Structure 1
Amino acid sequence: MQSENRVFDDFVKFVNGAAGTFAGMAREGEQAARERAREWMGGLDFVSREEFDAVKAMAAAARDEADALKKRVEELEAAAGGAKSSVG
């Protein structure tokens, strides 16, 4: 009976060692995957949220200014067209 317990104990130690080894391999694999992802992401040209918001605000301001200028040109053309018709 003593020898059967010893064989069982050895088997349990072996399984525990294998489980620890597999857990270590899983951790190393996860760390390697994270490092690869960081390298890949670092090579891309991402902008920060603040930069994106600043450019978005500048584009909106430029669009508003362009609309105002378009309206002004239309008003000037209408005034110039009205002046020509009254002169001619």
Structure 2
Amino acid sequence: MNRPEREAAVRQMMERTTPRLPVDLHADVVRRGSRILRRRTIARRLLWLLLFAATVAFVVWASMARPWVEPPSDTTPPLTGW
């Protein structure tokens, strides 16, 4: 069979009968889809938990280190004009 004959045969088969799906295909697709949704939900919750933990850690660090306050001077200014 050459290509045009194969295409014609496939067209005849598709026009003749309605395509049928395997019986257990729907159950497999639903199971896989629910598994994917469950994994996405868990991943999203873990990312939110990680973001919350990082925010809490940053707030605790900022309250302890106080990076906005100018550090005290380690040296004294030179004495001039005595």
Q: Percent identity?
A: 7
Post-superposition CA distance 1:19-47 (Å, at most 9, x none): 10011011101000001001101111356
Name the structure 2 match of 1:11: 31
Task: Return closer, same or farther for 1:32/1:15 CA change in 2, 3 Å cut-off.
Answer: same
Count, aligned residues:
56
User: Per residue, is there more helix in 1 or in 2?
Assistant: 1
Matches within 5 A, 1:1-88: 2-46=22-66, 51=71, 55=74, 58=75
Q: Which amino acid aligns with 2:53?
A: A
Q: Which amino acid aligns with 1:32?
A: F
CA RMSD of aligned residues (A): 2.5
Unaligned runs of 5+ in 1: 60-88
Q: Distance in 2 between matches of 1:47 and 1:36?
A: 16
Q: Which amino acid aligns with 2:26?
A: R
Deviation beyond 2 Å, 4+ runs, structure 1: 45-48
Q: Distance in 2 between matches of 1:22 and 1:33?
A: 16
Larger Rg: 1
Q: TM-score, normalised by structure 1?
A: 0.51
